[in-house]
């Protein structure tokens, strides 16, 4: 009697899994591909030219915040391309390279994608 209930339960779970497109561990259900979610193409980042305005130079960090490690620096007056948008007050200047937006002065008419 116990084995019959277990088999019935297993069949019921397998049917539910097949209907929902799910996989239940220990039971086989027909594989069904889930429809791919629609995604808008990622917007291209807008980059602009900035001038560094930090008398002692500007630290380059590995991420957008002071808790990230310093990986380099820029001299006062240096010209750099950085993202127009900020994350936590930082602009990205390259892969894993971020600087504080507070010390950057946007140069007029120099933005691109």
pLDDT tens figures, 31-72? 555 555 555 556 788 999 999 999 999 999 999 999 999 999
85 has pLDDT over 90 = yes
Tell me what the mean pLDDT of segment 75-90 comes to. 97
**What pLDDT does 109 receive?**
83
**Strands ordered across the beta sheet of 47-52:** 79-83, 47-52, 104-112
Pairing label, strands 79-83, 47-52: antiparallel
**Strands ordered across the beta sheet of 70-74:** 70-74, 58-61, 97-100, 90-94
Reported as a pLDDT band with limits 50, 70 and 90, residue 81 is: very high
Percent of the chain with pLDDT over 70: 63
């Amino acid at each position: 009697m116990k084995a019959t209930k277990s088999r019935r339960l297993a069949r019921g779970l397998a049917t539910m899994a097949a209907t929902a497109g799910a996989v239940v561990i220990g039971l086989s259900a027909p594989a069904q591909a889930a429809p791919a979610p629609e995604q808008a193409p990622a917007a291209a980042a807008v980059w602009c030219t900035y001038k560094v305005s930090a008398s002692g130079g500007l630290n380059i960090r590995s991420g957008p915040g002071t808790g990230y490690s310093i990986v380099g620096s820029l001299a006062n007056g240096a010209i750099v391309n950085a993202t127009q948008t900020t994350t936590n007050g930082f602009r990205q200047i390259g892969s894993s390279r971020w600087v504080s937006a507070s010390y950057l002065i946007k140069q007029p008419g120099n933005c691109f994608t």
